[in-house]
Amino acid sequence: MDAEERYRLVARNTAEVVTEEELRELLDADPTIYIGYAPTGEMHIGHFTTIRKLADFLQAGLDVKVLVADLHAHLDDEKSPFSLLDARSAYYRAAIEGMVEAAGADPEQIEFVQGREFELTSEYALDLLRMAADTTVSRVTRAGSEVVRQSENPKLGGLVYPLLQSLDVAALDADIAYGGIDQRGIYMLSREVLPEHGYDAPVCLFAPLLSGLSGGKMSASEAGSGVNVTDPSERVHEKITDAYCPQGEVENNGVLEYLRYLVFPILDERDEPFVIERPEEYGGDVTYWSYDDLEADFVAEDLHPQDLKATAASYIDEAITPIRERFADRPALLREAYPETYA
């Protein structure tokens, strides 16, 4: 694979690369890229799109590490109670492996790391304290403002969080920090603070955040705002049917985004088209080989939301089916991670 193709693969469907020059330079060698997930709520399509991209990274020959950031999950306003960290970490790992596989890549090629495996060493603790000594409260508050839960009486844990994450980059020997664009503030802090402590500043790659299905941002606290990766078929169809989807509009259109960032890349990998079955009355069946063509028709209002939704729901459902099946065998994983929901 030539350098240009490699770069295209790594950078496609991203929101931002910091910086493009640095990334091109890194790709001359075999860099390590990492992404961290704090095991808090159930995993959804948004997570899936970021994990789908891991297939791109593997194909481009990068070393891929996935951090299951258990301590982060507790540190951020105790989103996960300490007693559930292990159960949720196990669930996240299984779900992530399922998504990697569903994206057509091999989970064996990914190195999984859990936060507590390395974040409690004395070297790590010393670095962390030294960073805490020379970083202001307002600096870390700003860094974490899009990630850490905001409240009138913020906990100290939320302030330490960005420092911890910065140090993770160094401790995991990652050349590239990958994550949603909401992580930008934290990794910009990393680029600033790591060199002052003797480590390299990471190159950053950010994934776009998907719109919620009710318009606006996707919200973890709003049940219908996103499809979970273990949702039953009926629920997927229900959520997509109920989704905000104005005719001809691309802005804030979660359905289109699901197709763009998840369904089409998977179809592309398998060399299969997206086929919409439609009554003759509304124009008959249509076949799309690329997202761009579909979007063009939608914008031109040659493709009606109702026809789009019906088909999209089936393809999305199909995309998560392998994950759902993986959990069908092991119901305890979900039940123990979310006893309130699955008890």
Partner RNA sequence: CCGCGCUUAGCUCAGCCCGGCAGAGCAGCCGACUGUAGAUCGGCUUGUCCCCCGUUCAAAUCGGGGAGUGCGGACCA
- Helix (H), strand (E) at residue 292: helix 291-299
Answer yes or no whether residue 307 interacts with RNA by CB under 7 A.
yes
**Is the CB of 21 or the CB of 340 nearer to RNA?**
340
Residues 215-234 that bind RNA (CB under 7 A): 215, 224
Contact segment (CB under 7 A) with RNA among 51-59, 80-88, 129-137, 278-286 equals: 278-286
Answer yes or no whether residue 246 interacts with RNA by CB under 7 A.
yes
**Is the CB of 224 or the CB of 273 nearer to RNA?**
224
**Is the CB of 118 or the CB of 244 nearer to RNA?**
244
How many angstroms separate the CA atoms of 305 and 143, rounded? 38
Closest distance of CB 258 from RNA, Å: 14
**Is the CB of 121 or the CB of 341 nearer to RNA?**
341
Closest distance of CB 222 from RNA, Å: 7
Six-digit token pair at 320? 């998560």
Sheet holding 203-207: strands in order across?
16-18, 203-207, 176-180, 32-37, 63-68, 110-114
Which residue among 4, 123, 134, 242 contacts RNA (CB under 7 A)?
242
Query: How many residues touch RNA (CB under 7 A)?
Result: 20
Contact segment (CB under 7 A) with RNA among 23-31, 41-49, 116-124, 302-310 equals: 302-310
Answer yes or no whether residue 214 interacts with RNA by CB under 7 A.
yes
Closest distance of CB 298 from RNA, Å: 11
Answer yes or no whether residue 150 interacts with RNA by CB under 7 A.
no
Non-local (6+) Cβ contacts of 274 within 8 A are: 259, 263, 264, 267, 287, 288, 289, 294, 311, 315
Non-local (6+) Cβ contacts of 265 within 8 A are: 13, 52, 55, 56, 103
Answer yes or no whether residue 244 interacts with RNA by CB under 7 A.
yes
**Is the CB of 122 or the CB of 138 nearer to RNA?**
138
**Is the CB of 17 or the CB of 140 nearer to RNA?**
140
Non-local (6+) Cβ contacts of 115 within 8 A are: 67, 68, 69, 70, 71, 72, 168
| Residue with the two structure tokens 């990630």 | 147
Which residue among 19, 109, 241, 287 contacts RNA (CB under 7 A)?
241
Q: What is the CA radius of gyration of the chain?
A: 20
- CB atoms closer than 10 angstroms to residue 325: 12
Residue 66 CA, distance from chain mean position? 11
In the complex, which residues of this chain contact RNA (CB under 7 A)? 153, 214-215, 224, 241-247, 278-279, 282-283, 304-307, 309
